[in-house]
Amino acid sequence: MQEIKVGIGDLNIAKSPYKLITLGLGSCIGIAIFDITNKIAGLSHIMLPDSKNFSSNNNPLKYADTAIPLLIDKLLDSGANKRNLKAKIAGGASMFAFADKSSTLDIGTRNSEAVKTILKQLNIPIISEDLGGNKGRTMIVDPDTGIVTLKIAGVGIKEM
């Protein structure tokens, strides 16, 4: 079965039998949004919480606040029904454990909070999440079953 790759700071959609995959989420977050009735799904790989804090926000797909609405638009344009949309999210790790926790501005945590806030504002329920920790994740999204498969470094394979 063919997998459509989503790069860093990118998004895409797929219909069954295709799957979506994004590799090596660290502090970044993968947001999978499904319409299981119409067997269509989208996946966004964001790097930063909020485009408004940055002057050079030239790629809207990098930021949670701009990427998620674009992902939803793309799903609706391709025949998804807004009322069916549900989200599964993964990532937001802090990869390097430093002793001086206080001095690190933890992008992973800020990304996680931003993604949850934005999905709530857009009335998309989060049905499953795997956030935080200190391990990288690869995310595979199947529009046919609504299953997200995570490959977690040093841990193994997990379904959500």
Catalytic residue ranges: 28
- Cβ distance to other proteins smaller for residue 15 or 110: 110
- Cβ distance to other proteins smaller for residue 78 or 138: 138
Q: Is residue 50 left, alpha or beta, with left meaning phi > 0 and alpha meaning psi from -120 to 50?
A: beta
Can you give the binding site for other proteins, defined by CB under 8 A?
Answer: 7-9, 23-28, 47-48, 54, 56, 58-59, 62, 93-100, 104, 107-108, 134-138, 151, 153-154
CB of 140 to other proteins, least distance (A): 11
- Cβ distance to other proteins smaller for residue 9 or 146: 9
CB of 69 to other proteins, least distance (A): 19
> Beta strands 19-25 and 137-141: pairing type?
antiparallel
Number of other CB atoms surrounding residue 69 within 10 Å: 14
**CA Rg, the chain, in Å?**
15
CB of 38 to other proteins, least distance (A): 30
- Cβ distance to other proteins smaller for residue 35 or 108: 108
Q: If DSSP codes are grouped into helix, strand and coil, which group holds residue 42?
A: strand
133, containing H or E segment = none
Q: If DSSP codes are grouped into helix, strand and coil, which group holds residue 112?
A: helix
> Distance between CA atoms of 119 and 32, rounded to whole angstroms?
11
Contact 68, 114 (CB under 8 A): no
CB of 85 to other proteins, least distance (A): 27
